[in-house]
Amino acid sequence: MYKLHLLAVATAFGILGGVSGNAKAQDLPGLVPQDIRERGYIEIVTDPSFGPPWSYHPGDDQSEYAGIDVDIANEFSKRLNLEPRFVSLGFAAIIPALKSGRFDMAMAGMSDTEERGKQIDMIDYALDSTTLLVQAGNPNNIRGLEDLCGLSVAGVTGSIQLAMAEEQSPKCAEPIKITAFPTKSDAVLQVETKRMDATLDGYIVSGYLTKEGILGKKNMEAVFEAVLNPKPLGIGVAKENAGLRDAVVAAINAMIQDGTYQKIFAKWGDDNMPLKAADVNNFRLGRE
C-alpha cells in the first residue's frame, strides 16, 4: 500500500521516472573548486536527532552516521573524488553556521522554502510531503486535515506540520485541539498512548516507520492517502560556494541518470519518488 501511495505522490509532483538518454560525459572532479579539491574533503553538517531515515546515529558511536542523506553524500562525494565528513549541529543553528563559512554544506532533510533560499542556496534533491499519524485502526476515520476538526492533535514546536494544523483549525466548525511539544518523539508518544488523536509527520519518514514495523509496534498507522503540502528538500550551500554547489548538482544528476539515485531511495523504501533532475532554489518544485 505504501508504494502505491508513493506512486500517487510522484504523479502529483509530475516528476515520476528517470531521464532518458545518456548524459554527456563530464569530468566531475574537475568541477570542484580548486581549494576544496586540494583539501580533499567536504564537511557536511546535519542534525541526527530527527532520527531515520534521513540522517541519524545507528548506534552508540556519535561519529557514525547512516540514512538517505549519508548514502547520497557518500555517492556524490565519490564521484567528485572527495571524502564526506559529517558533523552534528542543532537544526536551528545550521543555516547561520553555513552563512558564517563553518561548514561546506548541510544535509538534514531540510525543506527548500522561499525564505531559506534568500539566505543560502538550496540544491533540490528530493521531494516530500506531510501525512497523518493516527491510532491503529484509525478509530476516528481521519483521511485529511478537515477530519482533524474537533479532535486533539500533537505537533512539534516550529514545525511546518504544526503550522498546517494551526492553519486548518479556524476553518473548522469545532476547532482542532492543538498542543505543541518540543520534539517529534514527544508528539508521537501522545498518539501512541491514546492521549491525543493524531499528529503529522513527513511522508517519507512515515513510510520508513511503517516499512520497518515501528509504527505497528506503537499501535499507530499512517494515513498515506493524505498527501499534504508537497515540497522539495534541499542541500544547503552558502551563496559564496556556487562552484561546489554546481559540482554537487552535476554529480547528483549523473546519479539520477545511471539509476544510483533511485537505488538509494529504494533501499529506504522510496523507489517510486525519483527526480528527473536536481534543481536549485526551486521552492515551488512539486507545486506547479
Instruction: Report pLDDT digits (tens) over 199-257.
Output: 998 888 888 889 889 999 999 999 998 888 888 889 999 999 999 999 999 999 999 99
Are 205 and 179 in contact by the 8 Å Cβ rule? The answer is: no
Mean pLDDT calculated for residue range 179-197: 91
Domain contains 69: yes
Measured CA to CA in angstroms, residue 75 lies from 38, 70, 194 at distances of 19, 9, 42
**What is the rounded CA–CA span in Å between residue 167 and residue 123?**
28
Are 133 and 199 in contact by the 8 Å Cβ rule? The answer is: yes
Mean pLDDT calculated for residue range 9-30: 53
User: Which of 18-27, 139-148, 171-180 shows the lowest per-residue confidence on average (mean pLDDT)?
Assistant: 18-27
Mean pLDDT calculated for residue range 154-163: 84
**Residue 9: pLDDT over 80:** no
**Residue 47: pLDDT over 70:** yes
pLDDT category at 129 given cuts 50, 70, 90 is confident
In total, how many domains does the chain have?
A: 2
Residues 255 and 275 in one domain: yes
pLDDT for the residue 232: 87
Residues 114 and 245 in one domain: yes
pLDDT for the residue 260: 92
This prediction has a pTM of: 0.75
Residues 9 and 110 in one domain: yes
Residues 260 and 181 in one domain: no
Domain contains 63: yes
Domain contains 288: no
Residues 205 and 243 in one domain: no
Are 204 and 265 in contact by the 8 Å Cβ rule? The answer is: no
pLDDT for the residue 286: 58
For residue 201, the enclosing domain spans 130-228
pLDDT for the residue 157: 81
Residues 138 and 121 in one domain: no
Of 186, 203, 228, the position where a domain reaches its end is 228
CB within 8 A of 38, min separation 6: which ones?
Answer: none
Cα dihedral: 268, 52, 160, 215 (round 10): 80
Domain contains 285: no
Residues 85 and 214 in one domain: no
Residues 94 and 122 in one domain: yes
Residues 33 and 73 in one domain: yes
Residues 181 and 140 in one domain: yes
> Could you tell me how many residues make up the chain?
288
Residues 113 and 41 in one domain: yes
Computed over every residue of the chain, the mean pLDDT equals 86
* Helix or strand run (H / E) with residue 167: helix 160-168
Are 235 and 106 in contact by the 8 Å Cβ rule? The answer is: yes
Residues 124 and 238 in one domain: yes
CATH number assigned to the domain comprising residue 202: 3.40.190.10
